[in-house]
Amino acid sequence: MTGTAIEPLRVEIYSLYPDARPAEAASSSVRGSLPVRAVQHCPPVAAGSGLGWYVYPPADFALCWDGHETEWSPLEENEPVGWRSLAGGYDARLPDAATQLADVPERFRADLDIFDRYGGTLPFLDADPRASNTIEMVTGVVARTSPGWCLLARGVPNWPAQRGVQLYEGVVETDWYTSFLPTIMRLTEPGQVVRFYRNIPLMCLQPVHRSVLEASRKAELVTGQGLAEWPDDVWRELVSLRRRRQDPELRSTYRREQARRLRENANYQPIGAEEADQPS
């Protein structure tokens, strides 16, 4: 796509669940969990944290893997209320799944056969029969992006990792794939109860343009092991930046450099500087 104009980004995120928490812009402070110093003085952290949109689970629930099989349970008052096995590729559904399609608009009713595989209700969880600690969760979220744009589905950036679970990352071609966004997770600790909450972000969707994916595959990688292999100009740039960083009279040298570049180049757009100043 070299030389091709990039389509302006438009992101649409819809949920099958009318009472689910809607997707929302990611927070530069990770909803207040980052230290104030990191948000105010480290634009790279603020920019990384604030890139994309949070997606939430449609319900409070828990998973537990005993080393052989995985079970799930809804949560009531933060406690599991009835474990159900996911063995054998069983498709788990939320307790109120049968009612979720009751209010489907008349214009959509002729197409409800797309849920026949799930017993005419919305899908939720299933475990890989070959690896029962690998779970696919259907959040009910469908996303669509402008031509040329994809979404990277990943864990929430800079959110503390939850014990006992790993979310797989994947790039979804949402400019044509208008279907459930896959959320694949792996349970890592036998006997560990892992809880998920409808008001805590499950994952983050981050925009990636196809041209970036193509460029990364074709990129020329230059490496240098040991200072003897460093180019002179790279060394000079490092020395210049490190001397400023070591000056006890200077603070926030990264943001200072952003401000200088902004003054000298009207087309320069600092990454993360605006986000760091925004309340969350």
Quick one: pLDDT at residue 242? 83
Residues of the chain with pLDDT under 70: 1-4, 40-41, 248-253, 255, 272-280
3-state secondary structure of 209: strand
pLDDT tens per residue, range 40-90: 667 788 888 889 999 999 999 999 999 999 999 999 999 999 999 999 888
Quick one: pLDDT at residue 4? 61
pLDDT tens per residue, range 115-146: 888 888 888 999 999 999 999 999 999 999 99
CATH topology of domain 11-217: Deoxyuridine 5'-Triphosphate Nucleotidohydrolase; Chain A (2.70.40)
Are the C-beta atoms of 111 and 119 separated by less than 8 Å? no
Quick one: pLDDT at residue 203? 95
Tell me the C-alpha distance between 172 and 149, whole Å: 9
- Between the CA of residue 133 and those of 44, 94, 129, 278, what are the distances in Å? 34, 19, 9, 39
Strands (E), the chain: 11-15, 24-25, 53-55, 61-65, 70-76, 79-80, 84-85, 125-128, 131-145, 149-154, 165-167, 170-172, 180-187, 193-196, 203-209
- Which sequence spans correspond to the domains of the chain? 11-217, 220-276
Quick one: pLDDT at residue 276? 43
Quick one: pLDDT at residue 252? 65
